[in-house]
Amino acid sequence: MPLPLLLTQHMVRRPQRIALLQHIADQGSITRAAKSAGLSYKATWDAIDELNNLAQKPLVERSVGGRGGGGAQLSAEGERVLRLYLRLQALQTQVLEATEETSDLDLLSRLMLRTSARNQLLGRIETITRQGHNDRVRLLLAGDVSIDAQITHESTLRLELAIGTDVVALIKAGWLELLGDGQPVTPGHNCLAGKIEDILDADDGPSEVRISLPGGQTLCSLAEPAQLAALQLEKGASVRAQFAPTYVLLGTPL
């Protein structure tokens, strides 16, 4: 199965994150892989979440009793991506050696921008429904989960969106609202159900809540500790996260 173009471009633009796959394969542990890569434990998991969310199947899986704690191992898809990364690395070296105009590389770097959105989820367009000046775009995520995005019809045309197109849904962590048991979903909103994988408390400000989705993707939300306590949400608990379709930004490869 070919890799999504968005993940392939990520391998070229941000090779240091793909290189984490080699550290995980060598160490068999997130803790040891983070130390080997010179990253914090949190930064390592952030990178893994991003990779898993952009792939069609998770690249890294948790394992029981890994060496050094925080056990993890590459999935079959992760091993395949690592092999491809090593081949691309060799090819990139050849290209750089043959490139004389550094301005060309600078131009490519400017064209391929990063985003500040914490959640980047790979999806495929199922339907596009015209609603006046706007379009409602339904995306199918991993695990047969669907979400809607509302964008202008002009944006649909500019991005050349069509049924079957692979896109990345960008959702800022602060745009997600966590729901407790019995709380109704706001009509017209998206709602994703998952399990709280971890809660990272901040010294000053809201906590970061990592939510594992059924398809292997991960959502990140922000919530005040008092809110989490009131909703009785803790690590391992089931949770729902809702957000308006207008909060879903769509990105496509250049």
Q: Are 100 and 144 within one domain?
A: no
pLDDT at 239: 96
Examine the fold and report which residue of 111, 126, 142 is the final residue of a domain before the chain moves on.
Answer: 111
Instruction: Give tens-digit pLDDT for 228-250.
Output: 999 999 999 999 999 999 999 99
Residues 71 and 18 in one domain: yes
Strands (E), the chain: 60-62, 72-74, 119-131, 134-141, 145-152, 166-171, 177-179, 190-200, 207-212, 218-223, 238-243, 249-251
Maximum average pLDDT range among 54-63, 74-83, 84-93, 139-148: 139-148
In the structure, what pLDDT confidence band is assigned to residue 100 with cuts at 50, 70 and 90? Answer: low
Residues 60 and 14 in one domain: yes
| 45/78 same-domain check | yes
Q: Distance between CA 252 and CA 169 in Å, rounded? A: 9
Residue 103, token pair as written in the block: 């301005």
Choice among 5-14, 45-54, 81-90, 171-180 with the minimum mean pLDDT: 5-14
Residues 235 and 132 in one domain: yes
Match 């005040």 to its residue by tokens.
224
Q: What is the mean pLDDT of residues 44-56?
A: 85
* One domain for residues 134 and 204: yes
Phi and psi at residue 184, in whole multiples of 5°? -75, 155
Whether 104 shows a pLDDT value over 60: the answer reads no
- Are residues 129 and 234 part of one domain? yes
Q: Judge if 107 and 123 occupy the same domain.
A: no
Burial (CB count <10 Å: 0-12, 13-18, 19+), residue 187: exposed
Tokens matching residue 112: 């391929």
Instruction: Reply yes or no on whether the pLDDT at 225 is more than 90.
Output: yes
Least confident residue range of 7-21, 64-78, 155-169: 7-21
Q: Does 82 share its domain with 124?
A: no
Question: Which stretch of DSSP H or E encloses residue 84?
Answer: helix 76-98
Question: Cβ(55)–Cβ(62) under 8 Å?
Answer: no
Instruction: Give the domain CATH number at 81.
Output: 1.10.10.10
On whether both 239 and 153 belong to a single domain, the answer is yes
Q: What is the pLDDT of residues 181-207, one digit of tens each?
A: 889 999 999 999 999 999 998 888 899
> Which pLDDT does position 203 carry in this prediction?
81
pLDDT value at residue 110: 46
Co-location of 188 and 172 in the same domain: yes
Half-sphere exposure of 183 (CA within 13 A, CB side): 16
CB 53 within 8 A of CB 217: yes
Domain count, the chain: 2
Q: Considering Cα of 97, then 100, then 105, then 106, what sign does the dihedral take?
A: positive
Under 8 Å between Cβ of 53 and 218: yes
pTM of the predicted protein model:
0.67
